[in-house]
Amino acid sequence: MSELFDAVDALVASRSPLPQPAERRRLRQAHALTLDEVAAALGVRRATVGDWESGKTEPRPPQREAYARLLEQLAKLYPTPESAGAEQEDTAVPQPVAAPASQATAAAPSMPLVGPPTASASGSPVATGAEAVEESAPAPSAAVQAAATVSRPRAEGVSQGSRRPGATKAAPAKTPAPGGVYAHGPLLVLDADADRNVTGYGIGGLILDVPAKSLPALVEWTLSEAQLGAERLHGSGKDADALLVLTEAACERYGLPAVLSESERLAGRLPEGHKVIKQLQRAEWKLTKRGLGPWARIYRPAQGSRRSCVQLSIPSWRALDDRAWGHAAQLEPAELARVLGVYAARVMTPVGSTAVTGLQLMTALNPPTRASEPDADGRRHREHRPGSLGTEPVDPAPCEAIDGHPVLAHLPRFHVRGPGERLFEEAYDWARDLTDAECMQRHLVGLDVNLAFGAAANGAVVGLASPPVHVTRPVFDAAVPGSWLVDLSHVDLSRVKVGKQWRDLDAALLPSPFTPTGERPTGPAWYATPTVAYAIELGYSVAPLEAWVRRESGRFLDGWYKRLRDAYVATMADLGVGEKLSPQEFLEAMDGYKSRDPELGIVVDAVKMTVKGGIGKLQEKARGGGWKPGQAWPALARPTWRPDIRATVISRARVNMHRKMLTLAAATGRYPVAVLSDCAVYAADGPGPLDVLPYGADGKTVPGSFRLGVSPGMVKHEGTQSVLWGADVLEQLSADGKVANLARYIKTGEVTARDTGE
């Protein structure tokens, strides 16, 4: 008899009721489950679960019963709007009155969609996305939440939007909520199902049905109905355009290839004759010069002050560089929307690579123009805004220009400029052999400076909109930004001022602060103002031979630094790494911090690359096979093509690094064995930073030296390897008198062909 019962149970299980495919997908995403997680739990492939959700196939025993059980439990946690509405009727909660269709568009932003409080990294309740409410307000009941969602008014033809509690992870604390005219936030990630229905995933768990059937229609819908965008970062700036991120399925739905061909990838765009580009042209939409590529802008010429522009990002076309965005391109749509949404709220809506975004952020925070006072006719016009770089590009001084720049067109074709002709302000790449005493120690410990270029940008006085002025036999002025031809070979690191005291040091164990290679200069060379000022700080006089100075100056990058600093610190706090931690607490908090929320870990890396890439873009080089030395390239037309500003920031970063190393050496007799940009490696008896840095019982260390902490300019643990490992790397890779840089490999200990430059 038991065998018959088992057979009956198996027969029932083989027909376990399942919701419709679209509902299966909704329930999984509502609980923030990935396809991989469900597949692993059921012992099937990821593609199999995807087929169940698209309706291509149906699950079979024994997985069917388990899958039905999973969906049944999720349905109890995340009821459909219809069932939520039924619950509302049962509990007799007063219903908001829906506005007439003619009034719906105006009414929608004033009716918040309320969700339950979620815990931030610190444990305090915060609201997510547009449903943000006052912290003191009582949490609404589930029925009230459902009522707020299902009764939201909408205009005729506008797709219904919802924010489903738990649909994605909570927006981190201190993330601004969208609202007003941009009620749906800055962006949507679009995905399509097997029936070619398109769904948009936004921040805070927002889910929108997207009715557009073609790319031109999608652009029209975005501008007229989607309520996407972001408020300007400065009163004289411009609002951010809506960003649409297209998955592979969405690309195919709108007639675009899921991936670019090799020729298209090399060109960075689709060919002009592509059918989708022709559709846009027929609808009178235009593309910028970069065409329809991984990042594309689709627009119509502005009418008055109104912009009609939508930006596309296509991860499968390599829009999200894995060096900056890690595995973001492989995330589920809702998860990707969360990553990009946090970045957009804390930095700005992405407009290209992190480098491009970093550069654009400078202008967004410090616009070149402003509205003038009314003239005699009461009209206003745009005028130069003091403190900005203006609207016109400025030629660099000849010493600041990179090879091939038009200002150097008079030089012979194969002329090589040395330090006396060219400004070489670059980050450190210096290393030396281990001393006998260091070989007797056990470990090599790497210390990495947080947002080193960002910290160097803070407070940097740089030239603004006026061109450089040439001066012969100038008197050096540390307050004047510029480039100075001066001989600093007389500065002897064996005896320098550290603070206000002269100290004797071992100069052979320290890099020179004046060259990126760390070698002592041998004669006159061009330096940015911070480098020359540091020579005076060390106790030596300077006598420049000539200079290119900028009389109009200011702290152009201060707002940029603060924006990125706040984004970095806030996201690290969400990951459990706060600013007010003791050194030991900080090291413990940093242990595996990204694993606490891998999506926010992606945001941290993107912020760091935004800092580094933004500074690099100030000196963007020519690209493309058609360019010839002496010809202008597109980047030169930007007011933000400013190699002098880049040189100032890098000079300050290198000087800051040297000052910390010098102070530590004077106080402890401990010297770096390698320095690479913002990472310094020291030999130590123990494996951690506290074995290098002399922290006292009061939690304080040597003033002016390295300090452990999350703030920009402070340091974290980069990695530790054994001294035996270091000796082996030096023996294998050092050649032709050049010592291998251990800082390049200290993080993982792995030496690859890419690391060695091969």
What lies within 8 Å, CB to CB, of 194 at 6+ separation is 21, 54, 55, 56
Query: In Å, how far are 144, 159, 202, 523, 672 from 163, measured between CA atoms?
Result: 14, 13, 9, 66, 53
Place of tokens 């070989």: 439
Query: How far apart (Å, rounded) are the C-alpha atoms in residues 272 and 265?
Result: 14
Query: In Å, how far are 357, 425, 645 from 459, measured between CA atoms?
Result: 21, 18, 12
Query: How far apart (Å, rounded) are the C-alpha atoms in residues 656 and 662?
Result: 10
Query: How far apart (Å, rounded) are the C-alpha atoms in residues 543 and 527?
Result: 13
Positions of CATH 1.10.260 in the chain: 2-82
Query: How far apart (Å, rounded) are the C-alpha atoms in residues 383 and 387?
Result: 12
Q: Are 28 and 38 in contact (CB under 8 A)?
A: yes
Torsion of the alpha carbons at 227, 232, 237 and 243, rounded to the nearest 10: -50
Q: How far is CA 711 from the centre of its chain?
A: 17
721-725 LR contacts (CB < 8 Å, sep 24+): 721/443, 721/444, 721/745, 721/746, 721/749, 722/442, 722/443, 722/444, 723/434, 723/438, 723/439, 723/441, 723/442, 723/443, 723/444, 723/683, 725/444, 725/749
Query: How far apart (Å, rounded) are the C-alpha atoms in residues 597 and 120?
Result: 12
What count of other Cβ atoms lies within 10 Å of the Cβ of residue 462? 24
pLDDT at residue 329 in the model:
96
Q: Are 573 and 122 in contact (CB under 8 A)?
A: yes
Q: Are 152 and 112 in contact (CB under 8 A)?
A: no
What lies within 8 Å, CB to CB, of 265 at 6+ separation is 317, 318
Q: Which residues of 36-58 are buried (b: 16+ CB within 10 A; e: fewer)?
A: eebbeebebeeebbbbbbbeeee
Strands (E) in 585-637, as ranges, are: none
Query: How far apart (Å, rounded) are the C-alpha atoms in residues 630 and 740?
Result: 36
Query: How far apart (Å, rounded) are the C-alpha atoms in residues 369 and 146?
Result: 46
User: Is 338 exposed, middle or buried, given 0-12, 13-18 or 19+ CB atoms closer than 10 A?
Assistant: buried
Smallest CA-to-CA distance from 411 within 424, 399, 423 is with: 399
Q: Which residues lie across from 240 on neighbouring strands?
A: 230
Smallest CA-to-CA distance from 405 within 638, 619, 625, 631 is with: 631
Query: How far apart (Å, rounded) are the C-alpha atoms in residues 445 and 689?
Result: 7
CATH class given for the domain over 2-82: mainly alpha
Q: What is the largest CA-CA distance in the chain?
A: 108
pTM of the complete model: 0.79
With a cut of 70, list the residues of the chain below it in pLDDT. Answer: 1-15, 81-171, 173-179, 304-306, 753-758
Please compute, for residue 456, the number of CA atoms within 13 A of its CA located in the half-sphere on the CB side. 28
